[in-house]
Amino acid sequence: AYTIAEGLAMVKAVRDNKRVLQVGSQQRSSEEFQKAIELVRNGAIGHVEKIYARVGAPPKPLDLPEMFDIAQAAIGMDGSGPVEFTPAGYNGQKYASMKYANGIVMTEQPYREDNENAQGIQFIGDKGWLKVARGYIECSDPSLLKAKKKEVGKGEYEVSSPHMQNFIDCVRSRENPIAPVEVGCSTNTLCCLQNIARELGRPVKWNPATLSFGNDKEAASHRLYWYQYRNPYSLPYFCK
Q: What is the pLDDT of residue 64?
A: 56
Average pLDDT, the chain: 91
Per-residue confidence band for 217, with pLDDT thresholds at 50, 70 and 90: very high
Per-residue confidence band for 124, with pLDDT thresholds at 50, 70 and 90: very high
**Element containing residue 138 per DSSP (H, E):** strand 136-139
Question: What distance in Å separates the CA atoms of residue 149 and residue 139, rounded to the nearest whole number?
Answer: 12
Phi, psi of 24 (to 5 degrees): -75, 45
Contact, 195 vs 59, CB < 8 A? yes
Contact, 61 vs 7, CB < 8 A? no
Which residues, in sequence order, are CB contacts of 210 under 8 Å at separation 6+?
none
pLDDT of 167-196, one tens digit each? 999 999 999 999 999 999 999 999 999 999
pTM as predicted: 0.89
Q: What is the pLDDT of residue 93?
A: 96
Mean of the pLDDT values across residues 160-167? 86
Question: What distance in Å separates the CA atoms of residue 55 and residue 111, rounded to the nearest whole number?
Answer: 10
Phi, psi of 158 (to 5 degrees): -70, -15
Mean of the pLDDT values across residues 37-64? 84
Question: What distance in Å separates the CA atoms of residue 222 and residue 55, rounded to the nearest whole number?
Answer: 23
Q: What is the pLDDT of residue 44?
A: 97
